[in-house]
Every structure is written in C-alpha cells, then in structure tokens.
Structure 1
C-alpha cells in the first residue's frame, strides 16, 4: 500500500478534477505483478494500468488501491468491473470514496464474493490525496499558503525589496509545487509591488492565475494578464469591471468562502496561495488554509514587511496551532511544511 501511495503522488497536478490514485497488484503467490497510477483526467485509472501490466497473473491475486475503486460509467468504465473480470480475489483499499457518484465499488466487489479490506494506511493515503478529498468533502479547493522569509520572519526589506530572500534551489522548488496545483493566487498588493508572472517554469503546466483585487486595480499591462496562462481577476461585486469575476464583499475584503465556492464550481481542486501578508492573514483568519509551505533563509533583516498580516489573533489564547509535516533542506534554505493541528479533546 505504501508503494501505491508513492505511485499516486506521480499524478499530482495532472489529474484534476479527478483524485490521484495508485494501485499495486500481487499474484496469488504474493509477488508484485502490476503497478499503475492515474495520470490524467479522462485516461485509464490506476487499477486499469496495473491490471494491464499484470495480465493473467492478476487472477486469484490481490489489488492494493489508495482509493475505493469506482463503480460508475464516466469517461472510463467502472474499475470494480475490471477487477472482477480480471479474477482478482482480494481488494485492499486505503480510503473509501466520499463521492456518492463514484462510490460503491467495495459493495459490488463484496457482493460478487471478493474479499475486501478497507483502511490500510488511511492517514497516509489521505495526506497524499488531500487536494481532492478537501475539494470533494468541503466543496471548495484545497489551499496551500506558501511564503519565503528570513529567520526573523521578514518577507521584504524596509525599502520594499524582496528579490531574492531565498536561493535559486528554493525558487525552483516553488515552481515544482506550483505545477501540482490548479490555480496560483496572489493579492493586488503583490501584483502592484512585484508584478509577478505567476506561471510554472519550466514545464507545460499552466495553472489558472487568480488575482484577489477587490477594487479592480490590476493594471492592463500587468504580467498576470500577458496570456501566458489563463487569469481570473476577482473583484468586489460593486466594481464595474467586465473582464473580472464579481465576488461579494466580506468584513475584511472579498468574501473568501464565496470566492473558493466559485473556484470549486469551475473545477479548481487546489489553490497555491502566494499573496502578501494581508491576503494570507485573511485566509488564515477565516480558517481556509489547509497547508503552509515556508521557505526559510538563514538570514536576518530586522525590519521590513512580516510574512503574515492580521490573522485575527488578539491574545495567545487565540493562537493558530499547527503541526509540522516535514522539514527539508533545499539548497542553503529550509522548506517547512505544516498543517493545522487537530483540536484538543476535552
């Protein structure tokens, strides 16, 4: 199953609006005879690739799958049916499918006499498929907030300059992560100050660029409007700008839940938030950040802009508690990944 989870990760950034899924098939004697992962929406599912590789050796064997096999006819046929035709005797699943349209594969397999187990390495598999699971369960995109800062938490110097706090290796890693998301988001303050391109380099991926611009101030010559990738300007509902999405206003700017609902409607599964401290604070305050990726440079500024603005905390009792997923050296810098800590039980 751990191998299946590793395989599933290969589909990050290319399967939307579908999940990432990995599958490993062992023969009746326990040897690995087939592997596969879902690589693109509309293409064969992980089970199909693994069954093709296994051939007749799948008969009487076991399929280890990170997500419950689908049981519906979409752009491809039901994976439950393919497993039955191949003569699979046992199916082990990490995560049940929360999508009622596709779910039902395990029920059908059990009905046909296949031995079924569910829940193996579920937490690991859910982390690997967090984008799609959040999208499906909460009906909004998964949000990753990324920032780069010095060890004293500064994202820009006192004169406003910020290029470059972190190393070329860290910046290359950012582009890799951008390519794993459906949209890259920034606020108007970042657009006016830095004129970022918000594209993925190198590579064919072209995530949607989203600019949160409540007053419609994005200049016509901004790089985010250059046509290199699709761009969505999100402005206030009262802003008469025809080339933008009008979003209701909230107490601290645009209504961010309403914006994410609109992105969900457009089948945006995941958002890579690269806005400045104000937008990041609004997302954190609203409880809409699912993961933080911080690139920390071994440097100090002592003054200048902080990486995070007002996040709605007035006392230590209201602190946003998170837990580390990993800490990885990237060139001379550190990449720190964290997620919200689960609430403490009373």
Structure 2
C-alpha cells in the first residue's frame, strides 16, 4: 500500500467513526478522528474518537485521551479541520499541540470563519506537518449539513419520497397508501436517526397522525426533532406528535397571523412555536423557515411530507438531496402525484442520481445536487 493509499484507508476509518453520531451532534458537525503510530509491521491505531452526542467533547481530544502518552510523535487523522476558537471547550488545536502529535491529516477545511484555515496555520506554526485532502469527497458528504449551515445559513435538506411504480404518492381523495415494504420502512427510520430534524406539513399530520420517531430496536433516543409547517396552528393537542414529546422535541412553524391562544396551548404542553411570513406563492416562507432552523442549530433536515410540501421545496430549489423509495406496484391514474403540480422529473433540474439500492421489493434512488 502506498503512503497515499494508507492515508485514504485510515481516513476512511475516521469517517466511519464520525458517521456513528450523524444527527446527534448538532449544532456541531459529526467529526471522526483516529490517532496512528507507524511501526515496523505497519500502522497501529492508538485511539479513536467521534464528536459526542450534543456536540461535546470533540473527536480529536477523545482520540488523543485514549492514546495518552503514546500520541507523542503520532499521526492524527481527522475528517474536518480542527477548531481553533474558544467555545464551551478549549480549541482542539491546543489539545493536538499538547499531545505532541507530529502530523495531522485532515480530509477538508472548515468554512466557519472562526476556523477557515486558521486551525491548519496554528498547527503548522507549531511545527506539525499538515496534509489536507484524503477522503475529501466522503467528508464533504458527511459534513454537508455543517457546510450548508455555515455557507448558506440553512440546513442541508434531504427530501424523502415514497412513490408507486407509476409515480404516485397516495390514493384518490388524498387517502394514504402503503407503497413500500418493511425493509424500506426500516431504512427510513435509519434516515431519521441520522438527521437532526424531520419536517412535515400539517396536512400529513391531520391525515396520518404520524410519530416521525426512529422506531428501530434500541434507537428511540436517536429520534430527530420533529418540525411541522402549520400556518394556522391547526395541530391537534391530542396528536401523536404532541403525545410523544417525551421521546423527541416538537417544533411548529406557524404563520404570523396564527391564533395566539393556540400557540399558548401548545407552549403549555412543551411544544415550541415559531413564526414566519408568507412566501411568493402564499404559503409559509420556506427559506425563512430554514433560516430559523439553522439559527437553532439544525444542520441536517429530512423532509418527509406530502406532495404539496415536497413540491414547494422542489419549486423553491431548497432540496440538496432526494431519497426516492419506489414500490413495485402502481396506484392508478387517479392517484395523487408524488409532487403536487410538478412531474417527478422536476428533481432532475438540480439533482443527479448518484446511487441505487434495493430494499426487499423496493428500489431506492439517491439524488444529490449537481
């Protein structure tokens, strides 16, 4: 294995560490780190770390603590530029210098103005060799939420769709339909677990009374924040979302004119209500809603909604990724289109297919921004 191939392999290990806590570290990115020492028989891993749930402690000091004194003269592989600013904890660059690390290999730099090359410069000034680039493509995917929030002031948006073989999402009369099987539904629960928040519309809530939690065995604590777009605050106080506040938070985004007494009633039950103005088409301003979520720390948002909300996100060019689960059976010509008022091919305008998978009888297409 060449030195470049070795760097790629060890960075892949760091990326795998960071992915363990995707969806649980917001507002911080889910970073992974591995401390390695070269030996005559090859690289020996001294310590591994991942950003902890809640965002602290960071991956680098965890890995270095495990390595202990053996970290002196070692190489640290980390998926994102180490932080160089004081927050709730000291900068990671301080821990790296104190540990006596000889070389740092980072997948990508951090666009955050408080870091943005400063972390690398501090390490180089301390005599530490810094190399950037191994695993960069995968790191940009893993840290897409952090990057989008820092650069664009909004979360990375993943639109999940379940569509029939003929591109429909529900039966005539807006009645729900079972489109995909158990394997695909389990995959959706895992997607929820890896996102900070999941968003739906009040129409879906009134029709389906969903929980939007992660119900894989032993993973209830990985359930995301639930967000409902509810312009007039019609959310029933007895809904499954409200009844499950002990599992995961519930945020409601309402219109500016929604009744204050409804907001107070929801607040009394522990629901957070925020308000936004109306967008160009008369619905809630989605761009403003995303900015509010970013201010509250959300970096990765899963949109799991009906055809109207899904179409609104697509039309506003606010979809960065789409996971489309297609079932094997048609629903018929009178069924409801997956995107209200838009063909499913509208996704092709800004997204391109990058992966396909099978889940039982269902097919998953993953599309990402061009």
| Pairwise same-fold verdict (TM > 0.5) | yes
What is aligned with 1:285?
A: 315
Q: Give the CA deviation at 1:162.
A: 2.8
- Give the Cα separation in 2 of the matches to 1:191 and 1:320: 29
Aligned pairs (5 A) from 1:298-337: 298-303=328-333, 304-311=335-342, 320-337=349-366
Cα distance, 1:32–1:309 mapped onto 2, change above 3 Å: farther
Query: Which residue of the partner structure matches residue 211 of structure 1?
Result: 228
User: Which ranges in structure 2 are unaligned for 5 or more consecutive residues?
Assistant: 1-10, 264-272
Normalized against structure 2, the TM-score is what? Answer: 0.85
* Correspondences of 1:135-146 after superposition (within 5 Å): 135-146=149-160
Matches within 5 A, 1:160-309: 160-202=174-216, 203-228=220-245, 229-242=248-261, 243=263, 244-252=273-281, 253-303=283-333, 304-309=335-340
* Structure 1 pair 238–213 and aligned structure 2 pair: CA distance change class (3 A): same
CA separation of 1:333/1:42 partners in 2, compared to 1, >3 Å: closer, same or farther? Answer: closer
State which of 141, 146, 151 in structure 1 corresponds to 2:165.
Answer: 151
Q: Deviations over 1:300-329 (max 9, x none)?
A: 122301111235x8xx99961422232111
Tell me the TM-score normalized by structure 1: 0.91
Query: Structure 1 residues 100, 55: CA separation in 2 closer, same or farther (over 3 Å shift)?
Result: same
Q: Distance in 1 between matches of 2:174 and 2:293?
A: 31
CA distance in 1: counterparts of 2:366 and 2:137, whole angstroms: 17
The answer to whether the Cα contact below 8 Å between 1:42 and 1:76 also exists between their aligned partners in 2 is no
Does the CA-based 8 Å contact 1:28-1:59 persist in structure 2? no
Query: Cα distance, 1:54 vs. partner?
Result: 2.5
* Other-structure match for 1:124: 138
Take 2:348 and 2:143, find their aligned partners in 1: how far apart are those partners? Answer: 28
Deviation by residue 1:37-91 (Cα, 9 ceiling, x = unmatched)? 2122353321122223333332222111110111223222222121112221111
> Which of the residues 25, 28, 43 maps onto 1:31?
43
2:99 matched residue in structure 1: 86
What do the CA deviations read for 1:110-133 (whole angstroms, capped 9, x no partner)? 111111112222122111111221
Q: What is the total number of aligned residue pairs between the two structures?
A: 338
**Residues in 2 aligned to 1:338 and 1:175: alpha-carbon distance in whole angstroms:** 19
1:10 and 1:39 in contact (8 A); partners too: no
1:344 aligns with none
Q: 2 CA distance for matches of 1:258 and 1:204?
A: 29
Secondary structure in structure 1 of the residue aligned to 2:213 = coil
Q: Closer, same or farther in 2 for the Cα pair 1:42/1:279, shift >3 Å? A: closer
Per the TM alignment, residue 28 of structure 1 is displaced from its structure 2 partner at its CA by 4.2
Measure, in 1, the Cα distance between the counterparts of 2:337 and 2:310: 11
Change (3 A) 1:194 1:318: closer
The residue number in structure 1 matching 2:82 is 69
Tell me if the contact between 1:28 and 1:58 (Cα under 8 Å) persists in the aligned partners: no
SS at 2:167's partner residue?
A: coil
Task: Give the root-mean-square deviation of aligned CA atoms.
Answer: 2.1
Contact 1:185–1:209 at 8 Å: present in 2 too? Answer: yes
Report the structure, 1 or 2, having the larger helix content.
2
Q: Distance in 1 between matches of 2:105 and 2:362?
A: 40
Matched, 1:114 2:114: no
Q: Distance in 1 between matches of 2:75 and 2:222?
A: 35
Deviations 1:255-293 (A, max 9, x none): 111111111121122221111111111111111111111
